[in-house]
């Protein structure tokens, strides 16, 4: 950022000669609820979902601008916390808040535009998947959907929105690792940390033992899942990593893996087959599923707002541990699980 807030416009350098741009709008009651989320939570979440879009192009986020509509009676402390949330999330990737605009509104409405730098690389588009390529995922899947389900069920009280917050840890998130490599021929999926497999539907799942036992441990696990919904943890560095490895296509998983990979399949004119046995289900997500009688794989496949990254790679590319292979690309169309096309599921604003 060459010129920050204070003038009619900011000035941001573009050494590559190209600028990656994305924008999102968050509306109170639709994308967040103030009795669930602190201003700091909302700031972190609003920044994260935009920064992840730039990472999904293989670019490095450089700056954001924020359009903000707020009620006249909004506490200044909430607005200060929102600003801190933006600052701390941007700090994880070295980006800056370059400026924005504020207006009066009946609800809190936040519009964020993010800018990014490709550093001389070509962008990783959605349309590059080809038959024979592998499908891999970096980051968490199903956590945010599990947290939202818990909050909506009333089983877990929302956190105190006036609570203090900790400074962000500038470390990258890696996917949940199973205890042993999953068997591609087995129908279940690995439970992270326990090595058990879950089969069946919402009322017949076996998601493995809860580690430690006791209500306090269960409460901690459920609280961790709720926290993942309020503050997603995108694997930002994996976007550039994938671009350098030669990813053929990539997308931010914001609306659900099936739906977002559907965009990749459609853009490339290919079919994507997912192996449900390749997905790791963390203990915390499994605990939430046990509490609600749900199938955690539904959250993994259709849950949004974790902002994981899904990408396709040529089969000869050696993938680091940050990426987990979950499927293959072939000729055809659509996304298939166990040979079936389950529909895209996930979130659609107008469905």
Task: Summarize pLDDT for 12-57 with one digit per residue, the tens.
Answer: 999 999 999 999 999 998 889 888 899 999 999 999 999 999 999 9
349 pLDDT tier (thresholds 50, 70, 90): low
Cα–Cα distance, 273 to 39 (Å, whole number): 40
Binding-site sequence positions for substrate: 31, 305, 347
Cα–Cα distance, 3 to 13 (Å, whole number): 9
Q: Which of 200, 214, 228 is nearest to 143 (CA)?
A: 228
Q: Residue ranges of the domains in the chain?
A: 20-117, 126-337
User: How many Cβ atoms are within 10 Å of 62's Cβ, its own excluded?
Assistant: 23
pLDDT for the residue numbered 81: 96
Q: What is the mean pLDDT of the chain?
A: 84
Task: Find all residues with CB under 8 Å of 171, minimum gap 6, and list them.
Answer: none
Binding-site sequence positions for Mg(2+): 8, 22-24, 53, 101, 252, 255
Cα–Cα distance, 195 to 179 (Å, whole number): 5
Q: Find the mean pLDDT for residues 296-322.
A: 96
343 pLDDT tier (thresholds 50, 70, 90): low
CATH class of 20-117: alpha beta
pLDDT for the residue numbered 188: 35
Task: Find all residues with CB under 8 Å of 322, minimum gap 6, and list them.
Answer: 138, 172, 174, 175, 235, 238, 241
- Provide the 8-state DSSP code for 7: B
Q: What are 209-221's pLDDT values in tens digits?
A: 333 445 677 888 9
Binding-site sequence positions: 8, 22-24, 31, 53, 100-101, 126, 252, 254-255, 305, 347
pLDDT for the residue numbered 195: 28
Inform me whether the pLDDT recorded for 315 exceeds 50: yes
Cα–Cα distance, 60 to 54 (Å, whole number): 7
Q: Which of 298, 156, 280 is nearest to 230 (CA)?
A: 156
Q: What are 66-92's pLDDT values in tens digits?
A: 999 999 999 999 999 999 999 999 999
User: Considering the chain, what percentage of its residues have pLDDT values greater than 70?
Assistant: 81
Binding-site sequence positions for ATP: 100-101, 126, 254
pTM of the full predicted structure?
0.83
3.90.650.10, 3.40.5.90, 3.40.228.10, 3.30.70.520: CATH of 126-337:
3.90.650.10
190 pLDDT tier (thresholds 50, 70, 90): very low
Residue at token pair 């961790």: 224
Q: Which of 106, 43, 28, 35 is nearest to 80 (CA)?
A: 43
Q: Compare 155 and 275 and report the one with higher pLDDT.
A: 275
User: Considering the chain, what percentage of its residues have pLDDT values greater than 90?
Assistant: 72
Cα–Cα distance, 145 to 53 (Å, whole number): 19
160 pLDDT tier (thresholds 50, 70, 90): low
């Amino acid at each position: 950022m060459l010129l920050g807030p204070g003038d009619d416009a900011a000035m941001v350098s573009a050494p590559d000669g190209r600028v990656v741009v994305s924008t999102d709008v968050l509306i109170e009651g639709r994308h967040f609820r103030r009795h669930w989320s602190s201003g700091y939570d909302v700031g972190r979440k609003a920044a994260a979902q935009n920064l992840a879009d730039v990472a999904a192009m293989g670019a490095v986020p450089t700056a954001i601008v924020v359009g903000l509509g707020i009620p006249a009676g909004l506490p200044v402390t909430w607005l200060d916390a929102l600003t801190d949330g933006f600052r701390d999330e941007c700090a994880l990737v070295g980006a800056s808040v370059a400026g924005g605009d504020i207006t009066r509104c009946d609800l809190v409405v936040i519009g964020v535009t993010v800018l990014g730098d490709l550093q001389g690389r070509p962008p990783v588009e959605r349309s590059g998947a080809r038959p024979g390529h592998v499908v891999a995922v970096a980051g968490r899947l199903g956590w945010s959907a599990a947290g939202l389900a818990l909050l909506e069920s009333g089983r877990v009280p929302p956190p105190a929105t006036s609570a203090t917050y900790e400074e962000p840890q500038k470390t990258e998130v890696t996917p949940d690792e199973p205890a042993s490599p999953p068997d591609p021929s087995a129908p279940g999926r690995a439970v992270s940390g326990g090595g058990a497999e879950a089969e069946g539907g919402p009322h017949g799942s076996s998601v493995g033992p809860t580690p430690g036992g006791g209500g306090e441990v269960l409460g901690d696990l459920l609280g961790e899942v709720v926290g993942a919904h309020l503050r997603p943890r995108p694997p930002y560095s994996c976007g550039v990593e994938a671009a350098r490895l030669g990813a053929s296509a990539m997308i931010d998983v914001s609306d659900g893996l099936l739906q977002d990979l559907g965009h990749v399949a459609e853009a490339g004119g290919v079919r994507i087959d997912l192996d449900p046995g390749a997905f790791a289900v963390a203990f915390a997500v499994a605990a939430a599923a046990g509490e609600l009688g749900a199938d955690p794989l539904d959250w993994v496949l259709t849950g949004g707002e974790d902002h994981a990254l899904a990408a396709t790679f040529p089969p000869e590319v050696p993938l680091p541990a940050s990426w987990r292979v979950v499927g293959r690309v072939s000729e055809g169309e659509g996304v298939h699980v166990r040979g079936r096309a389950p529909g895209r599921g996930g979130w659609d604003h107008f469905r």
